[in-house]
A and B are shown apart, each in its own frame.
Chain A
Amino acid sequence: MTASRLAAAVAGLLTALLLQASLVGPLTFPVPVSLPALLVVVVGIYAGPGVGIGFGFATGLVADLGSQHPAGVQALCLLGAGLVAGKLGGLAVQRGYRTRGVAALAAAIATGACAAGGLLLSVLGSHAATLPATLLALVPVGLTDALLGLLVVPAVRRLLRAQGVRAPRPATRIVTTPPLGGSRVTAAPARGTDVAA
């Protein structure tokens, strides 16, 4: 990871947490919408599961330490969300989903992460979250996440394509196969790269 990507990740994390606390949370109350979760999912969709896992864990842990519930709950949920987003995002990118499609997918995954967090907290019994409240909030959270996604998806996509933040291209090796009628040159991905299969 380059320094610029790390700085961008930290900036994105802090921005999401601050916007959540100062704008999104108060405006969407009592619907428990989570902008950090949505950001993790969108980043996972575009950057892949590796980035999704790390970014999700870090964001979740900071959110945990800044709140009252046990540390690790959000970290675990957002780690899972980043993982799922990274894996499913490959299909979305491969099929050329536009903003609306990606926003819908991200909303579904972020809502799942929200539900998982609520369930985990209700199991732990250390927070006001209950199973009925978590289930009742699923639809409003999903709809709000989808609307927020329309703003977050283009921003994240543009950021990840920016010079310096863009992921380094996977190493390629030139494979030359002598065809019958002439030479044909193809590029094959190296091992360990996130290239859509």
Chain B
Amino acid sequence: MRTLTRRQQLSATVLAVLALLFISLDFAGGSFADARGGVTGTLGSLYRGTDAVLGPARRFVQGIPDVAGNRHRIALLQQQNHALQQQLTAAQADRATAGRLAALQLQADSERWRILPARVIATGPGGGFDWTVTVDVGSAEHVTAGQTVTDGVGLVGRVLSVHQSTSVILLAADPASGVGVRDTRTGQLLLATGQGGAGLTATPLGDAAPGSAAGVRAGDRLVTGPAGGTTFAPGVPVGTVTGVRTGQAGGLTAQVRPAAGLRTLDLVGIVLLPANTATRAPLTPGGGG
């Protein structure tokens, strides 16, 4: 064992007394505030510099014990995130459906119709026509062929064929579809014909004078109207005239932008005949709930 020299003993004694003195002074009055401030400031600056270098390594080491737990936590959070995204998607779909139902209800109220809501479950050619959709209501809900179909805003088409629980709708945009329409500005009757993705075209019926002042023009609104043996419910918006061109024979052909969103069909309404009674509760005038 090493022995202390006299000088070392003296140093140890002096330093120990000094330490006790510091303790007494600091404990009594806190007279080391300046010294503490200086040391804390210096060490703080150095600590920040050191932490910038060692911090990532420290955090990596500190995270090692939590790796297994974090994995489980991440999986749990991913599940929760997935469920929340599903809820969000469902909520958005519900909102959209609610909007369409509100539009159908408004139309039922204003036109005094009974409208049966139906959801589009399939699209594509059917029954010899190119532009058809299938909806999830059929004869069980007293749907019959020829009934008018609307999306709450405009004309979608008419019921082409009916099965037990589904029905095929012929869209107004189908090239083989013809709809008798009336120009709301002039009262002129026209025949609207589907043009597929290009919308509709309308040509005047009967003896409408080519190029007359009463002729159709851009901006005119067209609604379904009695034209021949039409089966469409009257007054359903069909579209807006976007342009008119005159043929070589002097006949007018109007380009019509459909009022209904034919490319985004989801919830549609089938206008029931008054005598019909459906097993699915139809929307009735004033039946907001």
Does residue B55 face the partner (Cβ distance < 8 Å to A)? Answer: yes
Verify B1–A22 contact, CB threshold 8 A. no
Verify B27–A79 contact, CB threshold 8 A. no
Fill in one digit per residue for A123-134: 1 if any B CB lies within 8 Å of its CB, else 0: 010100000000
Verify B32–A87 contact, CB threshold 8 A. no
List residues 163-182 of chain A with CB under 8 A from any CB of chain B. none
Find B23's partner among A49, A73, A90, A91 (CB 8 Å cutoff): A73
Q: How far is the CA of A57 from the CA of B23 in the complex (A)?
A: 13
Q: How far is the CB of A12 from chain B (nearest CB, A)?
A: 14
Q: How far is the CB of A74 from chain B (nearest CB, A)?
A: 9
Q: How far is the CA of A21 from the CA of B45 in the complex (A)?
A: 12
Q: How far is the CA of A65 from the CA of B38 in the complex (A)?
A: 9
Q: Is the interface of B mostly helix, strand, loop or mixed?
A: helix
- Please indicate the chain A residues that have their CB under 8 angstroms from the CB of B16 in the complex: 76, 79-80
Known: A23-B54, A53-B15. A72 touches B2 (CB 8 A): no
Q: How far is the CA of A65 from the CA of B5 in the complex (A)?
A: 30
- Please indicate the chain B residues that have their CB under 8 angstroms from the CB of A79 in the complex: 12, 15-16, 19
Residue on B nearest A14 in the bound complex, by CB:
B46
Stretch at the interface among A99-107, A135-143, A148-156, A189-197: A189-197
Does residue B11 face the partner (Cβ distance < 8 Å to A)? Answer: yes
Verify A72–B22 contact, CB threshold 8 A. yes
What's the A-B contact tally at a CB cutoff of 8 Å? 115
Verify B2–A87 contact, CB threshold 8 A. yes
Find B55's partner among A19, A22, A57, A91 (CB 8 Å cutoff): A22
Fill in one digit per residue for A1-33: 1 if any B CB lies within 8 Å of its CB, else 0: 000000000000010011101110011000000
Q: How far is the CA of A81 from the CA of B32 in the complex (A)?
A: 24
Q: How far is the CA of A88 from the CA of B1 in the complex (A)?
A: 6
- Please indicate the chain B residues that have their CB under 8 angstroms from the CB of A73 in the complex: 19, 23
Verify B50–A22 contact, CB threshold 8 A. yes
Known: A72-B26, A75-B22. A26 touches B39 (CB 8 A): no
Residue on B nearest A26 in the bound complex, by CB:
B58
Q: How far is the CA of A179 from the CA of B40 in the complex (A)?
A: 64
Does residue B275 face the partner (Cβ distance < 8 Å to A)? Answer: no
Q: How far is the CA of A83 from the CA of B76 in the complex (A)?
A: 56
Residue on A nearest B17 in the bound complex, by CB:
A76
Q: How far is the CA of A79 from the CA of B35 in the complex (A)?
A: 20
- Please indicate the chain A residues that have their CB under 8 angstroms from the CB of B5 in the complex: 50, 192
Verify B2–A22 contact, CB threshold 8 A. no
Fill in one digit per residue for B141-160: 1 if any A CB lies within 8 Å of its CB, else 0: 00000000000000000000
Residue ranges of A at the interface with B (Cβ–Cβ < 8 Å): 14, 17-19, 21-23, 26-27, 48-50, 53-54, 57, 60-62, 64-66, 70-73, 75-76, 79-80, 83, 86-91, 124, 126, 192, 194, 196-197
Show 5 A/B contacts (Cβ-Cβ < 8 Å), sorted by A. A48-B2, A53-B15, A62-B43, A70-B23, A124-B27
